[in-house]
Chain A
């Protein structure tokens, strides 16, 4: 049928071109069955190779040195100390990130203001900066010889070489993930629900508390877990800002450079298991009905 159309409209260039295009869609050569099978098998093989590439090193470390890592937790005070610091600082960074990031995500999701696109881009910027560079940038702003650093010192907060520095580094590199995920969570809640709540007597804050937050709750929890997981595994920015006290990632690096692979592997296994925990929790949270307020 389209063939007839092309002949008929051949004098009308544009239309003929469109019809020719449609013919190619309609009657374009289909790959043969054998080629299709090769393409399917090839795609599956590539996907499997990638999966293997991603999983094999981690499984290798945990499988080979997981038990040694558990033993090291019992006998290695430095490892236990690093683990405690890592958990503390990652949790604090996540709480700080949530305190500022959730309102920011809400504003980016709900409000239309001038410069919104710029703010969005600025929030995402730390994600594309190499992490050692992020550490250097933080050092320039929060180092001892900077106005902000001096002000923090006066307030009793030393950034470099302290847990405060670790929290700052974790916050800088992982908060954008929380903002981005929280914004998606708010985007999924229809703003008209809030509007209806307002007409039913709620103030803006009350409507957010009674309607939006419960409905976005699962997404916000997932956002916080993603940030916490990212904070736990951070190395580059932390090592520039605060080598000591050591988080687990820095400790594994130090063991590797100072004592070799055998000493680094148990620490690495502990870190991998630690990173697995939030991933498992995240999957549980992602399941429908996993959290109160997740009925929507």
Chain B
């Protein structure tokens, strides 16, 4: 278990500020954030390499805030491997191994047998990274910190090493904290995502939660939400969870209908309403959308995933809450997916539909369409 409670740490001019989150025993946590967010500093604070000025770091339930790195039994693998250049591959892997039997095991597991006597400077970036991983795992850490470990790897090695890491995590029940700037990678690997920016935690949650319920426009933009629109909320009616659920049901029924047509959205994953949420109207310029939210009246951002927006040639009889007239601005096809930019009420929205649907609808700049989306697809923050 890794738990940080109000951790503040300074490195040069950069500071982590009051970082708090918890990664359960045996869980795979992922820290994501843009370059300079403090991701590496965060890992180093957990490892004891960077001193913590305030707050507490707990590992396995024990406060280790003032404990030396060598006593924390934490393994760290950096993006740049940091192999000891004066030692051979074998000497690197065996460097911290308490149990000598683990060294050949790691060499075999990572297919390093043929490299044992090699000078580490002669290895490729991918090979170096694998040696670094083997060196760390040969110490049998039950907490593993990974700092963008796949960034230097070619795509093929990345898949192989990622598979190895996942297998080891599953086999050994290690608690992993993995730093990346790639949200897709975070979604593939992590049970829990910590989103960091400028030394502060913006959001902690499951990958699905962060993806569908970003806590702010900054989070939404970082995780690649295509539509982040500033506007105002007006509460239409107070509602119980039942009402919100009803809105969901109506929308789901509607999606089921559209699923048989060329207007099908690519996915239909939506958030689940919470008890305090109610139906609201979100307005930006000339665009008004219905949404389900617990936010009060006032300024807010609407976050809409491109794959939640369906396009149709005309308004249809449907209980789908949001059907707005729009004009196609741009169609960008990339393989099976086409990103269609439409302008609705002075606001540009991006919809992701299949290229085939775009062709069937005859979408081209200037074409009038109807953009449809469920109330629950509009996340307000």
Q: What B residues does A201 contact at CB under 8 A?
A: 70, 96, 98, 139
Q: What B residues does A190 contact at CB under 8 A?
A: 82
Residue B211 interfacial (CB < 8 Å): no
Known: A192-B78, A295-B119, A295-B121. A199 touches B85 (CB 8 A): no
Residue B214 interfacial (CB < 8 Å): no
Residue A36 interfacial (CB < 8 Å): no
Residues B70 and A193 in contact, CB atoms below 8 Å apart:
no
Residues A199 and B49 in contact, CB atoms below 8 Å apart:
yes
Closest to A192 in B: B82
Closest to A202 in B: B70
Q: Which of A201-218 contact B (CB under 8 A)?
A: 201-204, 211, 214-215
Tell me the complex Cα distance, A196–B96, Å. Answer: 10
Residues A200 and B86 in contact, CB atoms below 8 Å apart:
no
Tell me the complex Cα distance, A196–B47, Å. Answer: 10
Residues B96 and A202 in contact, CB atoms below 8 Å apart:
yes
Residues B98 and A198 in contact, CB atoms below 8 Å apart:
no
Residue A296 interfacial (CB < 8 Å): yes
A214 to chain B, nearest CB (A): 5
In-complex Cβ contact of A199 among B75, B86, B98, B121 (8 A): B75
Q: What B residues does A204 contact at CB under 8 A?
A: 68
Q: What B residues does A214 contact at CB under 8 A?
A: 86
Q: What A residues does B139 contact at CB under 8 A?
A: 200-201
Residues B95 and A197 in contact, CB atoms below 8 Å apart:
yes
Residues A295 and B85 in contact, CB atoms below 8 Å apart:
yes
Residues A200 and B85 in contact, CB atoms below 8 Å apart:
no
Residues B85 and A198 in contact, CB atoms below 8 Å apart:
no
Known: A195-B44, A196-B76. A203 touches B82 (CB 8 A): no
Residue B41 interfacial (CB < 8 Å): no
| Chain B interfacial residues counted at CB < 8 A | 24
Residues B82 and A198 in contact, CB atoms below 8 Å apart:
no
A94 to chain B, nearest CB (A): 24
| Chain A interfacial residues counted at CB < 8 A | 20
Residues A199 and B74 in contact, CB atoms below 8 Å apart:
yes
A256 to chain B, nearest CB (A): 49
Q: What A residues does B70 contact at CB under 8 A?
A: 198-203
Q: What A residues does B49 contact at CB under 8 A?
A: 195, 198-199
Residue B26 interfacial (CB < 8 Å): no
B74 to chain A, nearest CB (A): 6
In-complex Cβ contact of B48 among A198, A293, A294 (8 A): A198
Tell me the complex Cα distance, A198–B48, Å. Answer: 9
Tell me the complex Cα distance, A134–B196, Å. Answer: 55
**B57-90 vs A: 1/0 string, CB under 8 Å?**
0000000000011101011101000101110000
Residues B47 and A199 in contact, CB atoms below 8 Å apart:
yes
Residues B86 and A296 in contact, CB atoms below 8 Å apart:
yes
A194 to chain B, nearest CB (A): 9
Tell me the complex Cα distance, A144–B98, Å. Answer: 57
Tell me the complex Cα distance, A168–B139, Å. Answer: 48
Residue B192 interfacial (CB < 8 Å): no
Residue B135 interfacial (CB < 8 Å): yes
Residues B76 and A199 in contact, CB atoms below 8 Å apart:
yes
A196, A211, A296: most-surrounded residue (chain B CB, <10 A): A196
Residue B255 interfacial (CB < 8 Å): no
Closest to A295 in B: B86
Q: Could you list 10 A-B pairs, sorted by A, with CB under 8 Å? A: A197-B95, A198-B48, A199-B96, A200-B136, A202-B70, A215-B85, A294-B86, A295-B119, A295-B121, A296-B85
Q: Which B residues lie at the A interface, using CB under 8 A?
A: 44, 47-49, 68-70, 72, 74-76, 78, 82, 84-86, 95-96, 98, 119, 121, 135-136, 139
Closest 8 CB pairs of A and B: A200-B96, A296-B85, A198-B69, A195-B49, A201-B96, A196-B82, A199-B76, A214-B86
